[in-house]
Chains A and B, each alone.
Chain A
Amino acid sequence: DAGVIQSPRHEVTEMGQEVTLRCKPISGHDYLFWYRQTMMRGLELLIYFNNNVPIDDSGMPEDRFSAKMPNASFSTLKIQPSEPRDSAVYFCASDSGVTDTQYFGPGTRLTVL
């Protein structure tokens, strides 16, 4: 298996622009998680899905952030409009729900100027 795939790996954008991050989970995994990692705040869970349904979005910072999972093999995290404080590494992870082990993607490093 290719593992969790994220794109793009790096994104540089200007304040106010829309940013879309993409994730393809491991085939057969029922859970998908979006995390944000910064030096100041560490690893934060933003939202997670079970069988394509959002279960807990209490970590989403504000209305500028939205996430969708239209099918079992694809999810997006959108920031509109982006702000410099959104600069971070965003990770997607998936879990089969059987072993409780999360498999992380390589992350997207977002820089908002």
Chain B
Amino acid sequence: GNSVTQMEGPVTLSEEAFLTINCTYTATGYPSLFWYVQYPGEGLQLLLKATKADDKGSNKGFEATYRKETTSFHLEKGSVQVSDSAVYFCALSEGTNAGKSTFGDGTTLTVKP
């Protein structure tokens, strides 16, 4: 079956530091890949997505590239801000699963001023 493994947290960084959160996946077909973000007290919301190999998703300074050869979709940001403190979830969705997404366990990021 499908699975998503992401870097264990928590991750604590200083403001303006570089961020990487690793994500690898296992899927039987050709999934779409997602990063969702959950701010305190809120539901998850889509941060970025990529639908095929070598696609790069980007939003709010975050980027992730769909790497089929390494089955990875690592999240990066060049300079984090305090407002980026949140829980980040990597996920995949495969059409054969009729709309169902598989989520990673989430990585908590805390950015200190």
Q: Report A's interface with B, CB cutoff 8 A.
A: 4, 30-31, 33, 42-43, 45, 48, 50, 55-56, 91, 93, 95, 97, 100-107
Contacts and interface: CB of A to CB of B under 8 A. Distances in A.
A4 B101 CA distance: 17
A106 B43 contact: yes
B91 to A, nearest CB: 8
A78 B105 CA distance: 25
Interface of B: 32, 34, 36, 42-46, 49, 89, 93, 95, 98-101, 103, 105-106
Contact of B99 (A4, A97, A105, A107): A97
B99 A104 contact: no
Contacts of A105: 43
A13 B3 CA distance: 35
Given A43-B103, A100-B32, A107 B43 contact: yes
Given A91-B43, A93-B43, A107-B43, A102 B101 contact: yes
